[in-house]
Amino acid sequence: MRYAILTKGDSKSNALKQKMVSYMNDFNMTEDTATPEIVISVGGDGTLLQAFHTYSHQLEETSFVGIHTGHLGFYADWLPHEVEKLIIAINNDSFQVIEYPLVEVVVRYDEGKASRYLALNEATVKTHNGATLVADISLRGELFERFRGDGLCISTPSGSTAYNKALGGALIHPSLDAIQVTEIASINNRVFRTVGSPLVLPKHHNCQVEPANPITLQLTFDHITADHKGVSSIQYRVADEKVRFARFRPFPFWKRVHDSFIASE
C-alpha cells in the first residue's frame, strides 16, 4: 500500500505523523507522496481540504482518510489514540470506499481563455473590494435573474454544512449528486429582487454567473482565494469526478450533523 501523510504543521500533528510512519514501516507500507493510494490528513477538516487539492489531479486512484487532532469533523472520524487500529485496518484492506460529489467551476475570460477548478466544500464569487456584485444568473442556459448583493456560495452536499449553513442554506446528504446555490446578502426591495432562496441543482444542471459590469472578482475554491480580472462568465456544475474516502467504520452523515450542531459535549 502506497501512502502519503499530510499534517496541519503543528507539533502535535507532526509528532503523530512520525509515529504513524514508524508503524506503517513495520507493515512494509511505502511512503509515496507522488502517487499514493491512500492519503491520510492529520489535523482538521482544513488539512483534509488541503490534501484534496494536493491530489485533485488523481482522484480516481486516491482515497482519503482524516485524523483529527482536535474535535471530530465532517471529513475525519479518527482520533490520535486510534492510529494503531487505523493502520492495521489499512494493512488488511478492511475498508469501504465511498464517493462524494464535487463542484466544478469553469472561469472564462474576456480574451477567450478558460480555467477549470474543483471544490470539495464550496466555491464563492464576490467582488474584490467589497462592492455590490451585479451579475446575471442563468440556469441551463436560460436567464433566471439579475443578482445584486455581496456574492454567491455554490456548495457540494458535504460542504453544505459549512459556509452554506451559515448563510441559511439547506443541508444535503452526500449521496445526492447536486450542488446548492446560496445568496450572500442579496439586495431585495421594490426595485431589485432575487429569488431569495437557496437553489438545489441536480447533475447536468449548470449555473452560470455573468458580471454585468467589468470588475475584478474574488473567487474562492475551498480555502484557495484569488482575484480574477477580465472574467466574462463563471459556470458551476456537479463535477464528473468524485472524491473518494476510505471508510473503516460507520460514520453516518446525519450523526455527524447531530454531533456537530446539536449534541452537547
Task: Catalogue the active-site residues.
Answer: 45
Tally the residues of the chain: 265
φ, ψ (nearest 5 deg) of residue 101: -70, 155
User: What is the CA 212 to chain-centroid distance, rounded?
Assistant: 28
CA dist 102 and 136 (Å) reads 24
DSSP 38: E
Tell me if 122 is assigned to a ligand binding site. yes
| φ, ψ for residue 108, nearest 5 deg | -110, 140
Buried b (16+ CB within 10 A) or exposed e, 194-220: beeebbbbeeeebbbbbbeeebebbbb
Gap between the Cα atoms of 63 and 82, Å rounded: 19
265 assigned binding-site residue: no
Residue 123 assigned ligand-binding role: no
> Annotated binding residue at 148?
yes
Residue 180 C-alpha cell reads as 446548492
The CB-side HSE value for 84 (13 A sphere, CA atoms) comes to 1
- Enter the C-alpha cell of residue 238: 456537479
Does the annotation flag 150 for ligand binding? yes
Annotated ligand binding at 185? The verdict is yes
The 10 Å Cβ neighbour count of residue 74 is 21
Q: Does 46 appear as a known binding residue?
A: yes
Summarize the annotated binding site for NAD(+) as residue ranges. 45-46, 121-122, 148, 150, 185
Which residues are known binding-site members?
45-46, 121-122, 148, 150, 185
